Amino acid sequence: MVTASGEEVLADYVVLATGSSYPFPAKTDKVNTDEAHDQVRAAHLALSRADRVLLLGAGPVGIELAGEIDHVWPEKSVTLLDVAGEILGGPFKPELKPELRRQLAEIVVEMVLGSPLKDLPPTAPEELGAFTVTTEEGLDVTADIWFRCFRVAPNSDYLGAALLPARQADGFVQVEPTLQVVGQTTVFALGDRSTADIKMAAGRRPPAARPRRWRPTSPRLATGSEPTAYQSMGTGIGIPIGSQGGAGQFPGQDEIVGADVISDVKGRDMMVDRFQELLGLAVAAID
């Protein structure tokens, strides 16, 4: 394996686990903590001064952001726009989308679905400045700020020639049931950048809902054993709408879960406490 600097790294097994990127504010593209904090502060200030907000993309990110904005500024007008005819694309339980739509309507989020924009807004995302955009059906939408809430991109553009045949046009890396990259025996791809699972975040699950998952294959290969196939835990997602709302579904459960559960596992603090404990870090104050 050769890095961009030309350094050669020797390894018996390689695991590709570089995740994915997503437009801000879902993920920052800054690598410096102070710069990331400045980016968040600037977006927060611009958003606080806007009366009308347009969110492009009615998937999990758009829905969550709509709920967060309403929670802090219930007086703001929020429009959720998507080219799809329904919110939350993906193979979810049929009861989930209507429940999320009900809660969005309850907090008066306008949903414009099934018609793309003729052109993107003239301002940059997170930039304060009034504008009007028009859908293909001729509907005008006026806002003071907008956020891009679509287009997850797997971080796989660094792959060399030997691995490029396994890289799909959308950037995801094709893997075998053992999570070995297609065409490889000692290279594995995990997480957001592999084709093993639907790319949706799952909430915390009760112990009974946790099926057996993949066991590391490389030690088995090293000892001459057959690799073990990955077993997906199934489709799971938790989408908060503000600190007290939201809905989701957990693997192994027949019914969708409601606002009380989603608030407890995610909505109240967006799992900041969980990651603070995991990383052993104090939470930085964002003024």
3-state secondary structure (DSSP) of residue 142:
strand
Query: Is there a single domain that holds both residue 157 and residue 142?
Result: no
What CATH number is attached to the domain comprising 126?
A: 3.50.50.60
205 within some domain? no
Asked whether residue 214 is domain-assigned, the answer is no
CB 279 within 8 A of CB 102: no
Residues 121, 180, single domain; the answer is no
In a domain, residue 234? The reply is no
Residue 27 near residue 147 (C-beta atoms within 8 A):
no
Residues 144 and 37 reside in one and the same domain: yes
Provide the 8-state DSSP code for 72.
H
Domain boundary residue among 120, 149, 178? 149
Q: Are strands 145-148 and 153-154 parallel, antiparallel or unpaired?
A: unpaired
In the prediction, which pLDDT does 204 show? 33
Tell me, yes or no, whether 187 and 166 share the same domain. Answer: yes
Instruction: With respect to residue 247, please indicate whether it lies within any of the assigned structural domains.
Output: no
Considering the domain architecture, whether residues 3 and 77 belong to the same structural domain is answered as no
* DSSP 8-state assignment for residue 116: -
Contacts with 266 (C-beta within 8 Å, 6 or more apart), sequence order: 203, 204, 238, 240, 246
Domain range for 1 is 1-22+152-199
Please give the angle made by the CA atoms of 97, 102 and 104, to the nearest 5 degrees: 95
DSSP 188-204: EE-GGGBSSS-------
Largest CA distance in the chain: 64
Domain termination residue (choose one: 117, 149, 181): 149
Quick check: 97 and 86 in contact, CB under 8 A?
Answer: yes
Which helix (H) or strand (E) segment is 14 a member of? strand 14-16
User: Using CA atoms, how far apart are residues 46 and 241, in angstroms rounded to an integer?
Assistant: 21
Would you tell me how many other CB atoms lie within 10 Å of the CB of residue 59? Answer: 21
Q: How many domains in the chain?
A: 2
Q: Domain check: are 42 and 55 in the same one?
A: yes
Within a domain: 232? no
Structure tokens at 62: 């758009």
Asked whether residue 38 falls in the same domain as residue 144, the answer is yes
Q: Hey, which residues does 134 pair with through a beta bridge?
A: 140
* Pairing between β-strand 77-82 and β-strand 109-113 as defined by DSSP bridges: parallel
197: amino acid identity, one letter: D
For residue 211, being part of any structural domain is answered with no
pLDDT at position 198:
62
250, 236 contact by CB (below 8 A): yes
Domain membership flag for residue 231: no
Task: Quote the pLDDT of residue 39.
Answer: 96
Choosing from 184, 199, 214, the residue where a domain stops is 199
- The pLDDT, as a whole number, for residue 215 is 52
Question: In terms of domains, do 134 and 157 share one?
Answer: no
> In terms of domains, do 136 and 164 share one?
no
The per-residue pLDDT string of the chain (287 residues; one tens digit each, 9 = 90 and over) reads: 788 788 888 988 999 999 898 999 999 989 899 999 999 999 999 999 999 999 999 999 999 999 999 999 999 999 999 999 999 988 899 999 999 999 999 999 999 999 899 999 999 999 999 999 999 999 999 999 999 999 888 999 889 899 999 999 989 999 999 999 999 999 999 888 888 876 543 333 333 333 334 455 656 676 777 778 887 777 889 999 999 999 999 988 899 999 999 998 887 777 777 778 888 876 655 54
Nearest to 148 by CA among 29, 54, 49: 54
Q: Which residues contact 264 (CB under 8 A, 6 or more apart)?
A: none
**98 and 175 share a domain?**
no
My answer on whether 46 and 143 are in the same domain is yes
* Dihedral angle, C-alpha 192, 194, 200, 201, nearest 10 °: -50
In a domain, 245, yes or no: no
Residue 130 sits in the same domain as residue 71: yes
